[in-house]
Each structure stands twice: as C-alpha cells, then as structure tokens.
Amino acid sequence: MGSYILGRIIQLIPVLFLISVIVFGIMHLLPGDPALLMLAGAEGGAIPPERLAQLREQMGLNDPLLVQFWHFISGAVVGDLGESLRFREPVLAMILDRLGSTVELAVAGLFCSLLIGVPLGILASVRQGGWIDTICMTLSYLGASLPVYWLGLILVFFFAFNLGWFPSSGGGSIEQLILPALSLGLINAGLIARLVRSSMVEVLGEDYMRTGRAKGLPPRLLLWRHGIKNAMIPVVTMVGLQFGNMLAGTVVTETVFSRPGVGRLIVNAIIAKDYPLVQGAVLLLAVIYVSVNLLVDILYAFLDPRIRYGR
C-alpha cells in the first residue's frame, strides 16, 4: 500500500508541472496583451504607447518566454504567486483568505448531492421503472440542463424572500451556507443518482446476489451487505470528479449569493484585469482538484484490493 501511495504521489509531479505549463501557456500565448487590457481597464480612452511599453517592461512581458516561465514556476514552487496588480497584496495570501469559505461550500454542496443522490439512486435501482426511477431520471435531466444561477435565484426567491427561512446572501454562518450548498447539491444530485443507479443495477445482476437470494438471506441484509456496499465502490471515484464540479460551481454560486470566496475572487479579478490574481487562483484550484482526486484514488485502493494488487 505504501509503495502504491508513493507511486501515485510521484506521478502527480509531472501533472502539476503540465498544469502550470497550461496556465502559463494560455495566458501568454493566446492573442491578447495583458498590459494593454490592464491599461484599457484602468484608464480607458487612448493609451499612450510609452505608457504601454513601460508597463510591459514592468510586468516582465519583454523577457523571453522561457525566462518568464521560469520566474513563474520557480515562484509557484515556493508558494510565491506574485502580487495582485489591483490590491498590491500577495496573491497566495488573498486566495488562502477566501479558500476556506469556498472549500466549505464545495464540501457542503457535495454532501447535499450525496445525501439526495445516493438514496434516490438506490431506490430507483431496486424499483426499476417505478415512480422513484422517474424522479431520478427527471432530476438528472434537470440537473444537467438547469442554469445553476437560476436554481440559486429560485431558492432565494422562495426560502429567503417569501418564507424568510434563510438569508439570501453573505457568508460565514451555517444559515448562509444552506441555500448555496443546496443549489450546488441539487444540480449534481441527479448525476449522482444516475450513477448510483447504474452501479446498483450492475451489482444486483451479479452471481453472488443470486446465490445470496438462493440461500435465503433476508432481502434487507442482502441488499445492504452485498448490494449497496459493492455498488458504492465506483461511486467513490465519482466523488472526486464531482468535487471538481463543485469547485467550478462555486464560481457562479458565490456570485449569486454574494458569498466571499475564490470563485468570486477570480471573476472579479478577470473583470478588473488582475492578471497575476487570476493565474494564481486558477493554478491553486487545479492543484486542489488534482490532489483531491489523488486522495480519492488512494481511498479507492483501500476499498478495492484488486486495484493495488492488480498493478
């Protein structure tokens, strides 16, 4: 097991390197001049060429690309992601300040989607073609097609404005977490339910289930011990991928609910042309996402011994 974990961590290094190459590559190779964008955003009107040249020099945009990349990656390795152009603060500190709130939202959203999706998927698989199955299917279509901002607005309209149960915006308290988490969770619950359902359907058709039935195990025990337990294994992998969806979803959700967080930070930074801030925040989110998936893979190897002995 130890060598498996170590192997997976070592595999992570080239991925992290490539992620930074991609972030850097997109921001530097695509047509679009950050200095020009910044000046247009900050000052507007006609931009004096000497001012542009000065800013380009200041931002190091005149250095060869490889030199710029070296500055970027050597900084990133030691946690120096540069300084925000707008706030004159270290990017890493700004992100870490808001990361807690975003992770809290993503985890709560994931929890909601599992809480709704897993039981729904199990029930749908046990009674295939029944009304729960229909709900499961409808929810998965709605989840894949509903704009997440609208679901947020609907929740605000009913639960904050009309019923007054929860506040409509802000962050920090549990009450303020519920609506955003619910909107993220509901969107993804259908996907989870569908996955759980298909995994369950597969397990229910296995030989050991038939054997269990034949030897007279109580149906409930059979379902729990042999059915659900085995069906959950592939779901674990999905949770890692879902966490990425949740992180991405926070970008919109945080804006709808005016919650402080990394997602909103990125959006505001894009509007304000705060280049280093965008770059750093995106890089950090990708690193978190990859690390979570690594953890999930390791967990998976714990749950399913075939994985670690198979290789």
Partner 1 sequence: MADSAPMAVAAGLPAIEPEAEIRRPWRDAWRRFLAHRGGLVGLVILLLWIFIAIAAPLIAPYDPNALAGRARQAPSLLHWFGTDQLGRDLFSRVLHGSRISLALGVISVGFGLVPGVALGLAAGYFGGWVDALISRFVDAMLAFPSIILALIIIATLGPGIFNVMVAVGIAAIPEYARLMRGSVLAVKSQPYVEAAWLVGNKPFRIMVRHIFVNANAPLLVFTTLQIGNAILVGAGLSFLGLGAQPPTAEWGLMSSEGRQFLQRAWWISAFPALATLTVVIAFNLLGDGLRAGLDPKLRAR
Q: Is 279 in the site for partner 1 (CB under 8 A)?
A: yes
- Exposure b/e, 106-144, CB count within 10 A at least 16 = b: bebbbebbbebbbebbbbbbbeeeeebbeebeebbeebe
What number of other Cβ atoms are within 10 A of residue 33's Cβ?
Answer: 13
Span near partner 1 by CB under 8 A; candidates 42-50, 90-98, 143-151, 227-235:
143-151
Span near partner 1 by CB under 8 A; candidates 107-115, 216-224, 249-257, 295-303:
249-257
Cα(282)–Cα(284) distance, integer angstroms: 5
Q: Which of 126, 131, 139, 127 is nearest to 193 (CA)?
A: 139
Q: Is 157 in the site for partner 1 (CB under 8 A)?
A: yes
Q: What is the DSSP letter of 140?
A: H
Q: Is 248 in the site for partner 1 (CB under 8 A)?
A: yes
Q: Among residues 255, 298, 303, 304, which is the contact residue for partner 1, using CB under 8 A? A: 255
Q: Is 290 in the site for partner 1 (CB under 8 A)?
A: yes
Q: What region, left, alpha or beta, does residue 166 occupy, with left being phi > 0 and alpha being psi -120 to 50 degrees?
A: beta
Contact mark string toward partner 1, 22..61, x via CB under 8 A: xx--xx--xxx-x--x------------------------
- Residue length of the chain: 311
Q: What region, left, alpha or beta, does residue 129 occupy, with left being phi > 0 and alpha being psi -120 to 50 degrees?
A: left
233/272 with CB nearer partner 1 = 272
147/172 with CB nearer partner 1 = 147
For partner 1, the binding residues (CB under 8 A) are: 14-15, 18-19, 21-23, 26-27, 30-32, 34, 37, 141-142, 144-150, 153, 156-157, 161, 198, 244-245, 247-248, 251-252, 255-256, 266-267, 269-271, 273, 275, 278-279, 282, 285-286, 289-290, 293
